[in-house]
Chain A
């Protein structure tokens, strides 16, 4: 196999600095939004005693889930030995780290007391899945950092498969942990299901790949590197399988709930008469974020000449669907009232028995977008400082069958 050459991006152009400036501005705006929320208290947001987790959590969980998924590209190269994916591994590790840091930043900055982060790091309740996740997140950062170093230090390359395996297993456990944050909530009818863990793993594969494809396209276009259709189509088709897996687990999740009479209320709410949540579920999550990208990745247009544009569009749709899915799970799941007295009509001054209303507030959105910007900024500086990017991803360099195919009459 050909030796892969990696190089930094130049990072001197006006375009680079403008992009870095814009991302930096969004990060600062996110910080300002967090300060604003902490100063006045959370009543300035759309969150309440009914909807306790809001838009920041949608962003944070999207980023954290996508982080573990973004690492799959590296895993496929090292754990499953697919040669085509090997040059993509370093960027995959960097993106995974960046997305996780971005997501955690949002999560922490939304806390009621972000100044007590040190308490969260020193005082643990080991029965809490949240506490486990703190270890899983910090461990993920450490494991991926070592994995990246072993990949980038040629003398250490022989340890890459072992590290890749550890990182792959770690990310599976990590996403299981993220899904179980909801799966373990016995009192909430919309959650409380073991399917949350595999559902979140499928979501991570899908969202992570979508973000990876977009970032890969952007950095290759931006730094003038060739990116062949072979790589793009392979990534796209892989994403297709992941999209199908998300749809499958979504069907299982809702069918299971529909079968149990006690859960038909919450299912009716999400699937039929939940207003914005029903619309987001069917239109954005299922059609726009599921079926459309499936068509796009499996039926490439005219001889796959527009692979880049097509995969980019599919990825954007998957990300839109992903945000919608998390919004429906998180906010929709909380908006449906808790069943404190099953089978009874209830009312009180504390919104018992009524669907809670929620509208995302500007500070919440700005904080969430700030997390995305932080992740992208880390990637941008990462590829400028270290050699994460292969010099070329042209078909001739990546496809092991390229020459043979060309010689076939």
Chain B
């Protein structure tokens, strides 16, 4: 582990500039599309946090999308990630907090013994061993090859067993008819849903909306990237600094990690 990190270090710049990176990957994508579509997908793996997937191409298990959230940069009063998620995915409340969907929420955590407290966003943790996928009778709840856990809205029968099984309370049931849905984030009354890690954005070479909002107007606490790529910034960071998975004792290996929890 140590050697790997050291070897990769020189290739990484400390000050990550998402715009520069995305510009570079767009250039690479443009070049790839023009010159050699087959080579392109492999070629930009090294530089882009997300990379476009050719239409019809399957997600690859070479990639494991994940997030690292630094709680030292996550402010208790900040809700930018939650707002961005609702806007991006068309989640509208009905002033019924018990039944309104929440894909991401800010949780205030306080140690009763010491009084130390933290504020952190909690969403679908995109487990490597997701209990929601295990219990789903129809296979509607599934994990994509690149580690993103999703619900197939066409085969979900609305039994809510996944909600019983999820240790993170990450899922919501659609309790009423919906209007003004986003075409990229289809939802359905009577089915279960949760954070998709903005899969539509990832497939289009963009970062999840919460991560983007956090870096634009929030504290810059959220980092998104490929945990399988030793050169990605997220891999570098988790290799160098201690990070935690929530309820790591359950052995589910979540793709979302927290720093300074």
Which one of B108, B133, B177, B190 contacts A112 once the chains associate, using CB atoms below 8 Å? B190
Q: Which of B151-209 contact A (CB under 8 A)?
A: 155-161, 163-169, 171-177, 188-192
Chain A residues with CB below 8 A from B164, complex form: 52-53, 185, 188, 334
Q: Say whether, besides A41-B190, A111-B157, A120 and B131 are in contact (CB < 8 Å).
A: no
Report 9 cross-chain contacts, Cβ distance below 8 Å, ordered by A residue: A112-B189, A112-B192, A119-B155, A124-B137, A186-B167, A345-B110, A347-B107, A348-B122, A350-B105
Task: Pick the most buried of A117, A188, A338, A350: most chain B CB atoms within 10 A of its CB.
Answer: A350
B101–A348 contact, CB under 8 A? no
Task: Collect the chain A residues with CB atoms within 8 Å of residue B235's CB.
Answer: none
B135 at the interface (CB under 8 A from A): yes
Closest to A334 in B: B164
Contact B159 A123 (CB under 8 A): no
The answer to whether A40 and B138 touch across the interface, beta carbons within 8 angstroms, is no
Quick check: A52 and B108 within 8 Å, CB to CB?
Answer: no
* Inter-chain contacts of B168 with A (CB < 8 A): 338, 340
- The distance from the CB of A344 to the nearest CB of chain B, in whole angstroms, is 5
In-complex Cβ contact of A41 among B106, B176, B192, B246 (8 A): B176
Q: Is the CB of B112 within 8 A of A344?
A: yes
Segment touching B, from A127-135, A307-315, A318-326: A127-135
Please tell me if B14 contacts chain A, counting CB pairs below 8 Å: no
Bound complex: CA of A127 vs CA of B138, how far in Å?
Answer: 10
Count CB-based A-B contacts (< 8 Å). 171
Q: Does B20 contact A (CB under 8 A)?
A: no
Given A340-B169, A348-B106, verify A41-B112 contact (CB < 8 Å): no
Q: How many residues of B contact A (CB 8 A)?
A: 56
Chain A, 25-64, CB within 8 A of any chain B CB: 38, 40-43, 48-50, 52-53
Partner-A contacts on B (CB < 8 A): 94, 96-102, 105-113, 122, 131, 133-140, 155-161, 163-169, 171-177, 188-192, 246-247, 250
Write the nearest CB–CB distance from B151 to chain A, whole angstroms: 11
Let me know if B190 and A346 touch, CB within 8 A: no
Cβ of A41: which chain B residues have Cβ within 8 Å of it? 174-177, 189-190
Contact A340 B135 (CB under 8 A): no
Q: Is there an interface contact between B160 and A50, defined as CB atoms closer than 8 Å?
A: no
Once A123-B139, A130-B161, A187-B250 are accepted as A-B contacts, the answer to whether A116 and B155 lie under 8 Å apart by CB is yes
Task: Determine the interface band of chain A, counting residues with CB < 8 A from chain B.
Answer: 35 or more
Cα–Cα, bound, A123→B157 (Å): 11
A184 on interface, CB distance cutoff 8 Å? yes
Closest chain-B Cβ to A231's Cβ sits at a distance in Å of 40
Closest 6 CB pairs of A and B: A112-B158, A112-B190, A187-B167, A41-B176, A130-B137, A48-B98
The answer to whether A349 has its CB under 8 Å from any CB of chain B is yes
Output the nearest chain B residue to A116 by Cβ-Cβ distance. B157
Distance, CA A120 to CA B161, complexed state (A): 13
In the bound complex, how far is the Cα of B169 from the Cα of A356, in angstroms? 13
Query: A341 contacts the other chain (Cβ, under 8 Å)?
Result: yes
